[in-house]
Amino acid sequence: MTAIVFMYVLVGAVAGVLAGLLGIGGGLVIVPMLVFCFVRQGVPDAVIMHLALGTSLASIMFTAVSSFRAHHKRGAVHWDVVRKIVIGIFSGTFLGSCIAAQLSTRFLKGFFVVFLYYVAVQMLSNKKPRPSRQIPGHGAMFGVGNVIGIVSSLVGIGGGTLSVPFMIWCNMSVHHAIGTSAAIGFPIAIAGTMGYLYNGLSVQSLPEFSLGYIYLPALLGIVVTSVLTAPLGVRLAHSLPVDRLKRVFAILLLVVATRMLIGIL
């Protein structure tokens, strides 16, 4: 058990750095690592992915606050964009968590693997937007928020893997897109946590110390270190070449996705 707790703490440290560095909330690392831990703890396979997704989103509530506060101090959060998208984020994320509760672990794992491959290719492609493109109005942003929210709840992330490319596509600078995405990750995490908590309350096969689809020991271990390391990620984001770091991270995602795919097959 000590080794498992140490792993939760390590996951939190890595997730915090990634949340500040790339604005992704750390879920892309948290989810596969939680799946790894839950398998070794003997958690029933039918609830492993749901528990990993719910716990990941719950941890992002704390990571996102630490991350966006650090970005805000550097003037890198566009609060007008956050206000435009937040309603769609709430509705899409809660709906997505309700959908996920009805899906099998195998399907959710497969969806997560496909998403990892998509994100990796996206990071490696580095496509440039047209100079005239801008952040759209409230109606379009409500739709964008719903899409980001639904996908985020299905893969247990803070939404940065969709919101950062979207904002860069709208000609926002990379550092500001990362900072704004970190702020968007907070409402995603709140709505997703509520959804997974509610949908897991009646499930009987969850391990001890679970609150719905949230495993409290893992949440505690991740939060303790992620909140401390998120500001470090922010400092790195404003001092290191982000494009190069994204390429390295994309390679990591390809490795993780391939390992999970082998496990599914």
The pLDDT of residue 214: 95
Query: How confident is the model over 227-258, as pLDDT tens digits?
Result: 788 788 778 777 777 677 677 777 877 887 88
Question: Is it the case that residue 129 has pLDDT exceeding 60?
Answer: no
Going by C-beta distance under 8 Å and a sequence separation of 6 or more, which residues neighbour residue 211?
197, 200
Q: How many CB atoms lie within 10 A of CB 75?
A: 10
Say if CB 231 and CB 96 are below 8 A apart: no
Is pTM, for the whole model, over 0.75?
yes
The pLDDT of residue 52: 92
127 pLDDT band, cuts 50/70/90, is low
Say if CB 121 and CB 247 are below 8 A apart: no
Tokens standing for residue 252: 């990591």
d(CA 124, CA 206): 38
R_g over Cα of the chain: 17
d(CA 139, CA 124): 31
DSSP code at position 207: P
d(CA 105, CA 202): 17
The pLDDT of residue 6: 81
Say if CB 81 and CB 196 are below 8 A apart: no
Q: How many CB atoms lie within 10 A of CB 100?
A: 25
CA distance readout (Å), 159 to 153, 185, 209, 258: 9, 6, 27, 22
